[in-house]
Amino acid sequence: MNILHDERLDGVLPMPDRTALLHKLSIRLPDLHVLHRDEELKPYECDGLAAYRATPLLVVLPETLEQVQIIMQTCNELKVPVVARGAGTGLSGGALPLEQGVLLVMAKFNRILEVNPEGRFARVQPGVRNLAISEACAIHSLYYAPDPSSQIACSIGGNVAENAGGVHCLKYGLTVHNLISVDIITVEGEQMTLGSDALDSPGFDLMALFTGSEGMLGIVVEVKVKLLPKPQVARVLMASFDDVEKAGLAVGNIIAAGIIPGGLEMMDNLAIRAAEDFIHAGYPVEAEAILLCELDGVESDVDEESARVQEVLEQSGATAVQTAKDEAERQRFWAGRKNAFPAVGRISPDYYCMDGTIPRRELPGVLKGIAELSERYDLRVANVFHAGDGNMHPLILFDADVPGGLEKAEALGGQILELCVKVGGSITGEHGVGREKINQMCSQFNDDELELFHAVKAAFDPDRLLNPGKNIPTLHRCAEFGAMHIHHGELPFPELERF
Ligand SMILES: Cc1cc2nc3c(=O)[nH]c(=O)nc-3n(C[C@H](O)[C@H](O)[C@H](O)COP(=O)(O)OP(=O)(O)OC[C@H]3O[C@@H](n4cnc5c(N)ncnc54)[C@H](O)[C@@H]3O)c2cc1C
């Protein structure tokens, strides 16, 4: 494969014959729900990253495994690209359709197939909402731990494809740590089970490889997830700070004290005010930053850890520490955090959510760097994020109606991600690369690493039909972006034109 010059890898694709595809699908799958009129396609033109839009060639909504298999076989035969879509809440344009491709919407795969309290697992179809799993097993005092803030809407298939995280992933792990197996349909239409019921299995760990692969290796059709017993007690402490950097420092201090909280989240003043105005969570609107620290487990452990966390927070410079007095207040504290994104949406015509991860100890410096960049670009930035994981979510406030507004916000976002990489972090924590951060992949990885990613992709999808143009940039693209990894001052691929 020549990844220097294969334009298909950059999403430059020939336009397929839509009529021929429709005809084939209607003969092979007369009952398949297919959308092809302009007004039917419009609602699917973007995911949660609404700044990027494209009208898909066709939208298909299969209901059975066999339908998915035949769709994949037909698209493979006609060399038509396929983009999978769950609930469309992704924030990096991963489910952004292609004008030359089919959008495969998995929303009708919405059944919980089995809840097994003895085995502590559930088997679910990929379109099942994340929160619906915990709701279905609550009767057994069990729950599914990874809890993205979008859990009321996002699908488990999308969670697998993005390796989604959430408030409680610091202690309980990301999606990949809470899966038992994943059933997929390959680009050729074959069914495969990745992972197994055994704790370890021979061969390469393909389930881990697949998790977070953003719809580029296959279609998730069933997921077997681990269920955990609900902790006996969960208590949340809210600490206020008069300085954002002090709050950042406190995060590292808590972990250094040997405590792994169930959740450890941070919000700065702009986010606090927006959330308080929207949810009335009881947040201190005068604080420069708050930390929400949840401790869970058996009562005696929670008592002891709460006292220690309180001490660490005070020693780190907290101006006040408040413990939620009851379950209703605990829920309110979390509701403010979980609704912070829509809350920020109320105070700005548009916002652009970034997602970078840094080593925890770098939090104070990176928060300072973001504040400086915000000033330099003259754009407000609200910070609300999974502080314990070092997973930053700067929300850049802008107005898309102002000419150049989006471009300026994107440029600031790019700078923030570069800052994350500079301190040893990563350009994505949980939202994926998608279309949005494809250029920053050139800063994160060198040419050998990118070639390896393309080779893995080719092993699953030799014709690059699954979600092309996302996630992994070509070296040509990196050269154009101008952010190619320079090793010892040597420019890779000097023969390429730079624009
Ligand atoms: C308000 C808000 C808060 C959020 N908070 C968080 C958070 O705390 N943590 C977090 O991790 N994310 C968060 N997100 C991002 C988003 O919800 C997650 O990335 C989620 O996992 C996407 O799921 P989805 O079903 O909406 O997938 P989609 O957006 O539909 O798709 C996402 C990607 O998955 C692929 N995909 C979807 N279904 C399948 C399938 N069946 N087979 C193969 N590929 C598939 C798509 O091709 C695409 O690349 C948030 C989003 C919003 C809007």
Specify the 3-state DSSP secondary structure of 309.
helix
Q: Above 90 in pLDDT, residue 211?
A: yes
- Stated as kind and residue range, the H or E segment containing 58 is strand 58-61
- What predicted TM-score, i.e. pTM, was given to this entire model? 0.90
* Segment 394-426, tens digit of pLDDT: 999 999 899 999 999 999 998 999 899 999 999
Instruction: Locate the ligand 1 atom nearest the alpha carbon of residue 83 and give its number.
Output: 47
Pairing of β 228-229 and β 233-241:
unpaired
Question: Out of 151-165, 201-215, 362-376, 471-485, which region has the weakest mean confidence (pLDDT)?
Answer: 471-485
Q: How confident is the model at residue 488 (pLDDT cuts 50, 70, 90)?
A: very low
* Segment 248-269, tens digit of pLDDT: 999 999 999 999 999 999 999 9
Instruction: Give the distance (Å) from ligand 1 centre to CA of residue 431.
Output: 7
3-state secondary structure 389-410: HCEECEEEEECCCCCCHHHHHH
Give, for ligand 1, the residue of 45, 72, 162, 426 to mutate: max count of ligand atoms closer than 8 Å to Cβ. 162
Instruction: Give the distance (Å) from ligand 1 centre to CA of residue 48.
Output: 9
Instruction: Give the distance (Å) from ligand 1 centre to CA of residue 154.
Output: 6
Calpha distance 320→305 (Å, rounded): 18
Q: What is residue 155's DSSP assignment?
A: B
The predicted pLDDT at position 254 comes to: 96
Give the residue among 47, 81, 43 at the shortest CA–CA distance from 158.
47
- Stated as kind and residue range, the H or E segment containing 330 is helix 327-338
Contacts of 83 (CB under 8 A, 6+ apart): 56, 95, 96, 97, 98, 101, 102, 103, 104, 215, 466, 467
Measure the N-to-C terminal CA separation of the chain; round to a whole number of Å.
24
Amino acid of residue 290: I
**Which residue's structure tokens are 């020693």?**
315
Q: How far is CA 313 from CA 133, 209, 240, 244, in A?
A: 34, 38, 9, 13
Q: Above 70 in pLDDT, residue 214?
A: yes
Residues with CB under 6 A from ligand 1: 47-48, 83-91, 94-95, 106, 126, 148-150, 154-155, 157-159, 161-162, 164-166, 214-215, 219-220, 341, 430-431, 467
Instruction: Locate the ligand 1 atom nearest the alpha carbon of residue 164 and give its number.
Output: 11
* Segment 99-139, tens digit of pLDDT: 999 999 999 999 999 999 999 999 999 999 999 999 999 99
**Rounded to 5 degrees, what angle do the CA atoms 232, 234, 237 make?**
160
Whether the Cβ atoms of residue 344 and residue 397 lie closer than 8 Å to each other: yes
> Which protein residue has the closest C-alpha to ligand 1 atom 53?
89
Instruction: Locate the ligand 1 atom nearest the alpha carbon of residue 467 and give its number.
Output: 47
Q: Above 60 in pLDDT, residue 1?
A: no
Give, for ligand 1, the residue of 91, 346, 350 to mutate: max count of ligand atoms closer than 8 Å to Cβ. 91
> Which protein residue has the closest C-alpha to ligand 1 atom 16?
90
